[in-house]
Structure 1
C-alpha cells in the first residue's frame, strides 16, 4: 500500500499550481503549473515552506546577519516528521533515483525579479541521506550574501521570505540549456532565443561555457541567427552522485535545426499557457526526449502599451524620456497628462471619446508616458517636424525615430501637407499666432508685457474659493488640466518661436559664412529665461548665507533633511530662513521631476534646494560663480553677434545683427510654456492634497499623500465612500518596483522590439573593438576593474567589472558596477540575466577579456552591439 504524504510538508507537482506561491515558492509553483498543463516536466515533489518554518523556529528564528543565519540552519536538527516526509517523497521516485534538489523561495521567479540562481541547486543527488543534506543546504542558501543583497536591491523584506525545496528526477541530458520565448536583448516578442551545450544545463546557466546560440522566429520556424560556441567545458553526472566538469572538444552544432524548432515550439506552448514571455531551462536526454526543468517570467522586458500586438505594427515614442524623465509617474500624474492630452486633441479638432482616458495616440506603459507615433512616422509632416523637435528635446530619440523611416512596415502613407496645414491654420487663426509673432519681432518689449498678462490670466484661471467643497475642488482640477491650461499654452509658444525664427533667418542670411556651432554662443547668457533667473536668485541667497556666519555654519554642519525640518519650524538662522522663504515664494512650485504633479514641490520639501545651497557654499573660486559665468556668457554672445555680422558686409550684417539681437531677447522665453504648466501642476497638487486630507480623515485612505496614487475618476468614487486603501498599497509596490527600473526604451515597437538595440547590433564595431555576445543593452564608458575572484574584491561605483565568468556569488558586485564584460557565458547565463535586471550594459563571451583589458583602463561597453572599445579608439 502506497504511503500517504503529509501535504502540509511535501506535495507532488501534480498537486501544485501557481496560486500556491506562499506554500511552495516560485520555482515549485511554476513546475506544478507546467505539470498540470501537460507539459513535459520530470517527476518530482516539493518540500514546502512549512518545513522551513518549523526548522527556522526550532533555532529561535533566523534573520539579520547572513553568515549566522546559515550556520544556524545547517546545524539545526531536522524535525522527525519533516525528515520522514522528505524520505517518503524521495522513495516514491525510487530508492536510488538520481535527483536535482533545487531551492524554491517565495521571492523567486516573480514577474518583476527572477532571482535566477540566487539560492543553491544540487545536481545528481543519490540516496535519501544525500537528499536530506541537500535540502538542509538549500534552506541555508536563502541567507547567502548574494541572495540577501539581491533581495535588498529589489526591496523585498527578509523577514517575510520563506524557502521551499524542489526534488525532481534528474534528466541525464545529452544536450541542455536555456530558452527565452522573447529576445531579452532586443525585446522582440515571438522571437525565441536558445543557448545550448552538451551535457548538463548548468554549464550554460552558470556561464562556464560559450554555448551554441540560436534565434528563431516562433511564427515561421525560421532560424534567423546561428552562432556556434566553442563549448569547451562539459558538466556531466558521476555514478553514485555528484557531477564533474571536463574539457570538451566541440564538433559543429549540438542541436539540429529540427531540434531548435522543436524547442521554439515548446517555448511557445509555455508562453501561451502563462500569457507572457518566459525564461525556461530544458534538457534533451539520450533518447531525444525533450524535457522542461524550469520556467519563470522574463523580468527584464519593458511592458508593452495596452493593446499593442505584433499583428498591428505600431511605433511608440517614450514622451517621458523625451522630457528627460526616467522615473515612473504617479497615478495622479498620469491622470493629469491624460486630461491635458485630451485638451490638446480638442485644440486640433480630434476630441477624445473619454477625456479622462486620453485621446487615441496617448499611451502608458511601465508607468511612463508614451505616444503612438505610427501616423507621424508614416506622414511627410510628421517626419519633417517631430524628429526636428526631438533634436532639441532628446537627440538620441530623434536618431532612433529616423532609423525607422526605411522600415517597410512604416512606409509613407500620408504624403500631403494639406490636412496638417489646415488644422494648424485653424489653431493659428484662433489664437492669432502670426500677429503675435510679428509683434514680438517688431517690439520684444511687447512680448514680455504679454507674458506678464498671460501670467495674470493664469492666476485668474487657477483661482478657487477657500470654501469650495471637495467635489468642487475636483471639478476645478479637471477643468484646469483639461481646459484652462491648454488655452494658455498657445498664447506662449509664438513668443519664443519668434526668437527661433529670427535665429534661423540669421543662419540663412549668413549662408556659407557660418559653420555648425557658430550660432550656439549667441544663445549663452540669455535674458528673460525664467530658469536662469531662478538659478541666479538661488545663488544670491547663497551669497547672503555665506556672508552670515550663523547661517553659513548651519548649512555646512547639518544635513539637508535636518535643515528642511528647521525651515518648516521657522527655526533656521534669520538670514537663511528669510532667503529660502523668499526663493520658495517665487519658485516653490517647482520640483525635481516636476512634470509629475504627484511629487512634492520644493515648498513641500526644500531638502534638495538646501543641499544645492550647501554645495554653493563650497564654491571658492570667484570666477566660477554662476552670476560671473552668466555675465561672461552674455558678453561672449554679444561679441559673437558682432563677429558674425562683420562676415557678411554692411547691409546683410545689419540684418544679422538685428535678427540675432531679437533672438537673444526672445529665445529665453522657451522655458515659459513648461513653467506655466508646472505652475498649474503645483496648484492641482495642492487642491488634490486638500481632498486627500478629507479622505484620510474619513479612513478611506491611510495617509493624505495616498490620494496621489488614485486618478480623478477614483478620487470621485472615494468621495462617494469607496475605500481605496488596498488598491493604493498595491500601487505603491508597483511604483517602487518601477523606480528600480534602470533602463527605459526611447522607442518601442508593438512586437516589443527596441529599435535602438536592433540598430546597434547591426552597426560597425570600429578599430580596436573586442567583440562578444550582446547580453544587456545600453552603453557605458568607465574605468575597467579586472576581477578574477569575487572574494574580497572592491569595485568603485561606476567601474566596469571585467571577469572570466560569473556565477551568482559575483552578483553583489553588480550593485555598484557600471557595466559587465565576461570572457565566458551566453546571453542567458546568470551574469547576463542579473545585469539586465540591474540595468547595466553587459557583453559576454569576449575572448581573452581579462588579458586584453587592464584595471584602470577607460573602456566603452555597448551591450546591444556586443563590443568593448578602448576609449581612445571609440
Structure 2
C-alpha cells in the first residue's frame, strides 16, 4: 500500500522522487544545526499519481500537450485551462484524504498553513522550475486544506509550467507533483537571501532582499525590497527602498494588501545585526547543500525562520584556483571567436597546445581552466608584473575591448593592488630573448624587403604538416596518442618565431599610419581603404575559392537542386549521379582538399570540419549564386586592391602638400607598403594549427575505431568525451567507465545553455565595464573596428549551416571565425557579439571595406532578423532604424 504523507523530519535529499525538490530541501534544512524550519509535512507524489489515475480522460488530455505549440499563447492557454479544470473537479480518493487530515491534525489543526507545490523537477541544480506552480497562503480548516492540495496538483499545468517544460526538454508525464503543507509564520519582515550576489555572481557576498509582511509579495514582485549585502560578517551595502505596500495574513484566512504611510515607508526592514545574522545562517545552509543557495526566510519576534532553500541555477561556474588569492580569469573563447561549449577532448587538446603553465611539455596547461565547458586563462601570474599591468589592457584592445576594460578595472582595485607584488619585474634573460624579434620587427619596418614573407610562411606550413602526417602514420595505439601530445606541445613554439617578426610589424605599421595621419593631416580619412584586399591572406583566398565553386555550380540547375537536399553521408556519391555533377566535382574536390579541414568553432577539435559535413557550405554557395554575378567576387577583390592603391596615393599627395611633405610621404609610403605586404599573414597561424588539428582528429578517430571493434566504446565519437590522457589509458587498459560518457554529456548539455562571461574572478564575480563613448539614445555600443557607416537589412545568423543572405545584407552573428568567410562577399556590414581590432571579423571586414562593430553584447538577441539597422564602424555603435 502506498504511503501518501511524510513529515519533514522523515525526508531528505534521497526523498526527491517522493516529495519533490522543495520537500526534499525542507527535509535537509531541518537537519542543519541552528536553522529553524516551521513544522509541516509533504503530500507525496504517490498521492498525485493515484489521484490522476482515478480519471479516465487524464492520459488522453496529457497526450494532447505533446502536440501543442508552446509559442502560441492561445494554444497554451486553452490546453492549460482544459487540464486544470479537469483536475480541479476530480475527487480526491478517500485514503489520500484521510492521511492528509491525520497529518494536519498532528501538526496542529488550529494553525494556518501555507500550501505549496513541490515538483520532482523543481529546485534542482540544472533547472529551478521555481514559480511554475501555485502557492496558497494562510489556509485554515480541513476542507480548505484539501482544496488547496488539489489546486496545487492542478497547477502542474499552469500555462507557464507547460511552456517551461517544453522549453527545457522535460516530458509532461515525467514530472510528478508533491505538495508541501507548512505551518504559517506571521512575520514582521520577510524576504529572500542569495548566498552569492545574483547580479555579479560574487560567491563571497550574501545578498538579502527584505520587506515588511509576507515574503510571497516580494517573491512575486508586487512590493519593493530593501537590499543588504554582507561580506565576511560585515555589512558592505544597505539600500533602503520606498515600501508603499505590505501584504499581511488576514485573521479569517487569505491575505490583504495594506498601504504604508509616512516614515514607515522608508524605515529599514532589518537592523545591521539581523542582516549579519541572516548572512551567517545563509552560509551554514550553503555549506550543507554544497552550492550557492536562494533562501526564503521570515522574521517574527526577532526569530528567523527558513521556509525554503533551492540552488541558484543562474550562476556561471567559477574556474578553479589553487590558492586563496584573488585570481582573474579571461575567456579564451571570445578572442578565438568560439564562445560555445567545448567537449572534453577539445578542452584537453587546447590545454595541451597552449605552451605556458605546464609541468612537462606534453602535459595540459595549468593556466587554462575549464568552467562551464569553456576555457579560461588565469591572468593572475602575469599581472604580478608591473609592466604587464600597464601594457596588457592596451594589448587586449586588439582582441576584445570589453576584456581590456575589465582587466583595467581589476588592476585598479584596491584589493588587488594590496595583494600584488609592486616590485616584481621581468627577468633580464627573458627580455634578452626578445631582443632578436624586436630587432627583426624594426628591420621589417625600416628597410627589409618583406615580399617573400607570405611564401616563406606557406612553405613552412606545408613542410610541417607533411612531417607531422608522417609521424602519426608511423605509430599506433597508446604510442600514437603520446605522439599527438608531443606534436601539440611543439605547434606553437615552432610557428611563433616565424610569425613574431611579421604580424607585429603589420599591426605596428597600421597604428603608425593612423597616428601619423592624424598628427600630420589632422585626420585618418584614408585609413579605411588602406587594408583592402591585401595579398596572401589564406582566409580571403578561401572565400574567393568558394566563390569559384559557386560559379561552377550556377551553370547546372540539377546540381543546385541536389545541393538543397544533399546529406553529408552521401554528399559525394550523390553529386556524381546528377547532371553536371561530374563537371563540378573537380572544383569541389580542389576546394575541399585545401580547405576541408576548416569549419565553424574550429578551435574545438571535436566540431565537424567541412570535409566531414560538406552541407555546412551549401547555404553560402546558394546565397552566392543568388546574389552575386559570375566572377563578381574576383572583380570585387581587385576593385578593393585598386581602392587601396588610390587611398594610398591620396594620402601621399595630401602629405606632399604639407611642410617637409616629401619626407613625410616617403615615410608613409614605406609604412603602407610594409603593412600591405605583411597583414595577410594574420590568418596563417590558425590555418597552420587547424591543418594539424585535422591530422590529429583523424588519428584519434582511427584509434577510436579500434576501441569500438574491441567493444570498449559503442561509437567512435564517444572518444570526444575524454581527455588525451584518458584515451591513452583507455587504449592501454582496454576498459572505460561507461557512466562517464552519460555524465559528461549531461554536463555539456547544461553548460551549452550558459552564457560565458569575458572576465570572471576566482570569487565568481563577472566583471563588466560599460564603454565610455557617447552614443545616440537607444544605440547598441561596441568596438569600432572598420570605419564607415552603412544602413541595410540585418541578417541575424547563429549557425553558418543555416545562413541565408543576399548581397547588401548586414551580417549579425555571435562571432565570426574563418569558417564564416564565405558570407563576407555578400555582407555590406558586420556586427558581432565578441571581437576586437585584430580578431578575424575585424580584419576581414577591413579587407572588404565594410563598416564593422564588434563586441556588441547580446546583438543577436537585441537585433531581430530582417530589421533595418545602421552600423557606424567609425564611432562603434549600431542603431535599429
Normalised-by-shorter TM-score class: 0.7 to 0.9
**Cα 1:728/1:437, change in 2 over 3 Å:** farther
Q: Quick one: which of 395, 404, 419 aligns to 2:426? A: 419
> d(CA) in 1 for partners of 2:678 and 2:703?
40
> d(CA) in 2 for partners of 1:385 and 1:223?
32
**Cα 1:207/1:489, change in 2 over 3 Å:** same
> d(CA) in 2 for partners of 1:725 and 1:318?
31
> d(CA) in 2 for partners of 1:718 and 1:194?
49
Which residue in the other structure is 1:704 paired with?
716
Cα deviation code 1:137-162 (max 9, x no counterpart): 22222232312322333333444322
Matched, 1:668 2:683: no
Which residue in the other structure is 1:151 paired with?
165
Q: Quick one: which of 36, 39, 64 aligns to 1:40? A: 36
Per the TM alignment, residue 612 of structure 1 is displaced from its structure 2 partner at its CA by: 1.6
Cα deviation code 1:570-606 (max 9, x no counterpart): 4574156554333222211111111011111111112
Cα deviation code 1:413-457 (max 9, x no counterpart): 56679635632543676xx78559847973333212311221222
**Cα 1:576/1:383, change in 2 over 3 Å:** farther
Q: Secondary structure at the match of 1:580?
A: helix
Tell me, yes or no, if the aligned pair for 2:233 and 2:280 is still in contact at 8 Å. Answer: no
Tell me, yes or no, if the aligned pair for 2:384 and 2:424 is still in contact at 8 Å. Answer: no
> d(CA) in 1 for partners of 2:117 and 2:86?
18
Per the TM alignment, residue 74 of structure 1 is displaced from its structure 2 partner at its CA by: 3.6
Q: Quick one: which of 294, 297, 301 aligns to 1:282? A: 297
Tell me, yes or no, if the aligned pair for 1:378 and 1:410 is still in contact at 8 Å. Answer: no
Per the TM alignment, residue 320 of structure 1 is displaced from its structure 2 partner at its CA by: 1.6
Q: Secondary structure at the match of 1:182?
A: coil
Which residue in the other structure is 1:778 paired with?
none
Per the TM alignment, residue 296 of structure 1 is displaced from its structure 2 partner at its CA by: 0.9
Q: Secondary structure at the match of 1:322?
A: coil
Q: Quick one: which of 72, 84, 99 aligns to 2:98? A: 84
Cα deviation code 1:346-376 (max 9, x no counterpart): xxxx6526853423x2222112111111233
Which residue in the other structure is 1:495 paired with?
502
Tell me, yes or no, if the aligned pair for 1:10 and 1:85 is still in contact at 8 Å. Answer: yes
Tell me, yes or no, if the aligned pair for 2:472 and 2:699 is still in contact at 8 Å. Answer: no
**Cα 1:308/1:130, change in 2 over 3 Å:** farther
Q: Secondary structure at the match of 2:648?
A: helix
Per the TM alignment, residue 668 of structure 1 is displaced from its structure 2 partner at its CA by: 0.8
**Cα 1:268/1:354, change in 2 over 3 Å:** farther
Which residue in the other structure is 1:804 paired with?
none
Tell me, yes or no, if the aligned pair for 2:45 and 2:177 is still in contact at 8 Å. Answer: yes
Q: TM-score, normalised by structure 1?
A: 0.80
Q: Quick one: which of 180, 190, 197 aligns to 2:211? A: 197
Cα deviation code 1:108-139 (max 9, x no counterpart): 11123222201111112222322222222222
> d(CA) in 2 for partners of 1:202 and 1:88?
27
> d(CA) in 2 for partners of 1:611 and 1:420?
53
Which stretch of structure 1 is more off in the superposition, 543-552 or 438-447? 438-447
Matched, 1:713 2:725: yes
> d(CA) in 2 for partners of 1:9 and 1:265?
36
Gaps of 5+ in 1: 1-5, 771-781, 784-797, 799-838, 842-855, 860-869
Which residue in the other structure is 1:814 paired with?
none
Per the TM alignment, residue 472 of structure 1 is displaced from its structure 2 partner at its CA by: 2.9
Q: Secondary structure at the match of 2:611?
A: coil
Matched, 1:474 2:474: no
> d(CA) in 2 for partners of 1:189 and 1:355?
34
Which residue in the other structure is 2:844 paired with?
none
Tell me, yes or no, if the aligned pair for 2:244 and 2:260 is still in contact at 8 Å. Answer: yes
**Cα 1:332/1:427, change in 2 over 3 Å:** farther
Cα deviation code 1:280-338 (max 9, x no counterpart): 111122x23211111111111211111367x5212111122232322111100110122
Q: Quick one: which of 636, 641, 652 aligns to 2:643? A: 636
Matched, 1:258 2:253: no
Per the TM alignment, residue 873 of structure 1 is displaced from its structure 2 partner at its CA by: 13
Which residue in the other structure is 2:287 paired with?
272
Q: Secondary structure at the match of 1:251?
A: helix
Cα deviation code 1:464-488 (max 9, x no counterpart): 4657433233122212212345423
**Cα 1:613/1:246, change in 2 over 3 Å:** farther
Which residue in the other structure is 1:383 paired with?
389
Matched, 1:730 2:743: yes
Per the TM alignment, residue 546 of structure 1 is displaced from its structure 2 partner at its CA by: 2.0
**Cα 1:414/1:261, change in 2 over 3 Å:** closer
> d(CA) in 2 for partners of 1:633 and 1:690?
44
**Cα 1:416/1:273, change in 2 over 3 Å:** closer
> d(CA) in 2 for partners of 1:394 and 1:205?
38
Matched, 1:551 2:559: yes
**Cα 1:427/1:763, change in 2 over 3 Å:** closer
Q: Secondary structure at the match of 1:611?
A: helix
Tell me, yes or no, if the aligned pair for 1:509 and 1:652 is still in contact at 8 Å. Answer: no
Q: Secondary structure at the match of 1:544?
A: helix
Which stretch of structure 1 is more off in the superposition, 269-278 or 153-162? 153-162
Q: Quick one: which of 610, 613, 617 aligns to 1:605? A: 613
Which residue in the other structure is 1:594 paired with?
602
> d(CA) in 1 for partners of 2:317 and 2:525?
39
Which residue in the other structure is 1:363 paired with?
369
> d(CA) in 2 for partners of 1:531 and 1:474?
30
Which stretch of structure 1 is more off in the superposition, 77-86 or 266-275? 77-86
Per the TM alignment, residue 729 of structure 1 is displaced from its structure 2 partner at its CA by: 0.9
Which residue in the other structure is 1:226 paired with?
239
Q: Quick one: which of 1, 22, 47 aligns to 2:17? A: 22
Q: Quick one: which of 94, 98, 101 aligns to 2:112? A: 98
> d(CA) in 2 for partners of 1:764 and 1:654?
35
> d(CA) in 2 for partners of 1:857 and 1:82?
60
Q: Quick one: which of 545, 549, 559 aligns to 1:541? A: 549
> d(CA) in 1 for partners of 2:691 and 2:236?
55
Which residue in the other structure is 2:767 paired with?
755
Q: What is the aligned-residue RMSD (CA, Å)?
A: 3.5
Gaps of 5+ in 2: 66-78, 656-660, 780-792, 795-811, 813-856, 860-866, 871-876
> d(CA) in 2 for partners of 1:376 and 1:241?
63
Tell me, yes or no, if the aligned pair for 1:551 and 1:572 is still in contact at 8 Å. Answer: no
Q: TM-score, normalised by structure 2?
A: 0.79
> d(CA) in 1 for partners of 2:673 and 2:411?
37
Tell me, yes or no, if the aligned pair for 2:119 and 2:177 is still in contact at 8 Å. Answer: yes
Tell me, yes or no, if the aligned pair for 2:358 and 2:364 is still in contact at 8 Å. Answer: no
Cα deviation code 1:89-117 (max 9, x no counterpart): 22211224311111111211112322220
Q: How does 1:138-177 map to 2 (within 5 A)?
A: 138-177=152-191
> d(CA) in 2 for partners of 1:655 and 1:7?
90
Tell me, yes or no, if the aligned pair for 2:39 and 2:182 is still in contact at 8 Å. Answer: yes
Which stretch of structure 1 is more off in the superposition, 121-130 or 59-68? 59-68
